[in-house]
Amino acid sequence: MPMFLIIFFSIYGVMHAVFYYRIRPLLPASIPAHAVMLVFLALMVASPLISRYVELYGHDPAARLVGMLGYCWMGFIFLAFSGIVFFQVLNAVARIIGRFGGPSFPWFASGSATVILIVAAAAACVYGVWEARQLRVETLSIETVKLPLNLPRLRIVQITDVHLGLMTRPECIQKIVDSVQSEKPDILVCTGDLVDGSPDHINGLIEMFRRLEAPYGKFAVNGNHEFYRGLGISAEFFKQAGFDLLRGEVRTVRGAINIAGVDDHQIPGRIPEEKVLNSLPGNGLFNLFLKHRPEVDKRSQGRFDLQLSGHTHGGQIFPFNFIVSLAYPLMNGYHEVEGGVLYASRGTGTWGPPMRVLAPPEITVIDLVRPD
């Protein structure tokens, strides 16, 4: 965790430095104007930590205010930074063309271009807040002969990366719960990062998740944020919400399906997934594997029929998806892998900025069906 914070705030600080360098010509020439801007940017860099510490001291309204401002700014600065980099590349290309006698376009480095960048980033933020509320239901049908003869269809509904915490609004969670329940799941699974806040802010949401009904059971695995928040707190939330938390364990559910689940790889003492998958019973049933990150260990290939994952949020804010895909090539949607299928959800909530741009939230409905 400390290394993650060091890397994150180093990158975040550089983004703010680039932003300041770009907007500097637009500021008044006076020293106080630049000093005010630098102090503001420094506070925005530190706002996630400020919000967390204010929360720890019990000042929830102030923590929410700082958090909302800081996380919305985080979305804005990423979009603005992406636009600045894009325009800098265009400007460099235009200069090269100009050196060879072609037309140059100094406009890309002009103040007008900077204003347009800022306005476009702000507009994208407004859109992103709207898109984050547009919960989609993604459907997937998988034919399999591994269902019992008396069970023509088994419906699995997946949620992931809800990130319950200080910024969570109960009405948003109610929308998720209503959407899940309307799909009438036989099995409900959560592939991690459900818990991301202190008990004071998440315990009031337990009843919403407890009301979710799935006749074959509700199952979950720990993501990296359950580890950050505290495995004890997270395990108690899952238990009270009615989930069977799988920490390197296998369940055979009512003679219909085998379900295996592992902790996120950041969690110390994690049971290796190949060991877990090797313990699956040879009963000929469909093997469902729950794993937070959309990665397939070579030693696990061919040992499951379907792996459900999350973690990446589909990039959450364009064009961050291009960066995320470098680390997780299987980050979004349906992928055939050796011996089975991996499905990576875009996630059901948000982390950090309460917005999504070209990566709408989802719950996933997977129907396992016997062939005609």
Residues 24-82: tens digit of each pLDDT: 998 888 889 899 999 999 999 999 888 888 877 777 788 888 989 999 999 999 999 99
The string of DSSP letters for 224-259 reads HHHHHH-HHHHHHHHHHTT-EE-SSEEEEETTTEEE
CA distance linking residue 76 with residue 102, whole number of Å: 35
Distance (Å, whole) CA 372 – CA 369: 9
pLDDT tops 80 at residue 97: no
Interaxial angle between packed helices 2-23 and 111-131, expressed in degrees from 0 to 180 and rounded to the nearest 10: 140
Q: So what's the pLDDT on residue 135?
A: 96
Q: Which residue has the tokens 């063309």?
A: 97
pLDDT at residue 151 in the model: 92
Question: Residue 107 — pLDDT band, cuts 50, 70, 90?
Answer: low
Q: What is the pLDDT of residue 30?
A: 86
Instruction: Using DSSP, state whether 367 is helix, strand or coil.
Output: strand
* Dist. CA 289–CA 365, nearest whole Å: 15
Return the DSSP state at 16. H
**Number of helices followed by number of strands (H, E) in the chain:** 11, 12
Give pLDDT, residue 51. Answer: 87
Determine what percent of the chain is predicted with pLDDT higher than 70: 97
Q: What is the reported pLDDT for 169?
A: 82
- The average pLDDT across 200-226 equals 91
Confidence of residue 165 (pLDDT cuts 50, 70, 90): confident
Fold type of domain 136-369? Purple Acid Phosphatase; chain A, domain 2 (3.60.21)
Name the pLDDT band for 1 (thresholds 50, 70, 90).
low
* 333-337 vs 136-143, strand pairing mode: unpaired
Tokens at residue 116, please? 């347009």
pTM of the model: 0.91
Delimit the domains of the chain by residue range. Answer: 2-131, 136-369
Local confidence band at 160 (pLDDT 50, 70, 90 cut-offs):
very high
Conformational region of residue 70, where left means phi above 0, alpha means psi within -120 to 50, and beta covers everything else: alpha
Structure tokens, 101: 């006698």
Q: Report pLDDT digits (tens) over 335-350.
A: 999 889 999 999 999 9
Give the three-state DSSP class for 164: strand
Please tell me the predicted confidence (pLDDT) of residue 369.
Answer: 96
pLDDT above 70 for 319: yes
Q: How many residues in total does the chain contain? A: 372
Helix (H) or strand (E) segment spanning residue 220: strand 218-220
